[in-house]
Amino acid sequence: MVVDGGSGDRGEWEGRWNHIKKFLERSGPFTHPDFEASIESLQFLLETCKILVIGAGGLGCELLKDLALSGFRNIHVVDMDTIDISNLNRQFLFRPKDVGRPKADVAADFVNSRIPGCCVVPHFKKIQDFDETFYRQFHIIVCGLDSIIARRWMNGMLLSLLVYEDGVMDPSSIIPLIDGGTEGFKGNARVILPGMTACIDCTLELYPPQINFPMCTIASMPRLPEHCVEYVRMLLWPKEKPFGDGVCLDGDDPEHIQWVYQKSLERAAEFSITGVTYRLTQGVVKRIIPAVASTNAVIAAACATEVFKIASSAYVPLNNYMVFNDVDGLYTYTFEAERKDNCSACSQVPLDLHFSPSSKLQEVLDYLTESASLQMKSPAITATVEGKNKTLYLQSVASIEQRTRPNLSKTLKELGLTEGQELAVADVTTPQTMLFRLSFTS
């Protein structure tokens, strides 16, 4: 129920924030040792604190609701997706009439109309569409993403915002990242202080591996509807290039999914396989795991609580990783994820690549994509050879990929690389270029 407030445009009424004041205007046995109760803390939340929520899906809807009801009024939300009818069972800010509209726009309109004084600003864009200036304006960033690549990119962006003077990090340049994730009846919430605590890439091994089907089964002996979709995704799309040369399959583009769906139906009919649907096609392409509304609610509540604790400085934040599981009973566990000294994202030092001079560039590429601690998707490798910057391999641009492809079969020595040579690697998983140092083995 919307209450039309008693004091001006902000929709205030007596006692509206009493539940928040109990935490901020008195001390207690669980408050932060340095916390000083005051009325200024509430005013900071209401008027000054600026929060960015990334994702307006299952977790994002819960996060926006929780944050707005906790006194945060200056909220931005970024989401590149549109509403599908399958979202309506758990993404409660949306209605049937909203199908096809941007999630960010609809979620912002709903919260703004429902909670007086709250100003949610929507951005129907990719996180990669914004530069450092945009992200630097926020006090805290909360992620409710279903993509490891997007998480890693956001992690890299916040690390790039850190300011160092004489090798010492300026604490004021830290923007805390609260990350939540769910997978069926399992979930996790974590607090990341970039440059101080374990980042996303420090714990990359914790993320579950994607399910992959044997290529021989996909190509010649499909038995499941998923095999048909994977055949179209992995073999037909790069062969037929339905939307032009160099256009990658986008799981969020309805036209792309429709093409894959139609081709998957043809493949399924050829082998008398039933069960190929548009929803299944989208799920296979995007690697979607069925979501559970109650898990989203629990993890979003944990993330919103951490935002409140950090923004108010009233309580000690989570240190720093909480897992939740209610598959069989209810289980939670908190542990401190440790920062890796050789993390490719936050260690600030080039990582050593151990290869022999006779190793081929293809082996380096395979290591970058298959290593559990790196898990790159489409690395582009450059190096300075004989004083000139040289692109050794780049696959995101078709013409350059064709020109640099022969380098993959050349040895590192043939490419003019030497002991201690630095390789600059760019990838979709991070906005930063990562540096590696060749260490030749005998």
DSSP notation for 194-237? TTTS--TGGGGGGSPPPP---HHHHHH---SHHHHHHHIIIIIH
Contact at 8 Å (CB) between 37 and 158? no
- For 105-136, letters b (16+ CB in 10 Å) and e give bbbbebbbeebbbbebebbbeebeeeeeebbe
CA-CA distance, 91 to 298, in Å (whole number)? 14
202 is catalytic: no
**Residue 406 one-letter amino acid:** P
Strand partners, 177: 141, 192
- For 202-236, letters b (16+ CB in 10 Å) and e give bbbeebeeeeebeeeebeeebebbbbbbbbbbbeb
Token pair belonging to 52: 């960015």
| Catalytic-labelled residue, pool 118, 143, 216, 343 | 216
Contact at 8 Å (CB) between 298 and 179? no
CA-CA distance, 136 to 173, in Å (whole number)? 8
What end-to-end distance do the CA atoms of the chain give, in Å?
73
158-165 long-range CB contacts below 8 Å, 24 or more apart? 158/192, 158/194, 159/194, 159/195, 159/199, 159/345, 159/346, 159/432, 160/132, 160/431, 160/432, 161/132, 161/135, 161/136, 161/194, 162/194, 162/195
Residue with tokens 């089907």: 213
CA-CA distance, 67 to 240, in Å (whole number)? 46
Which residues are marked as active site?
A: 216
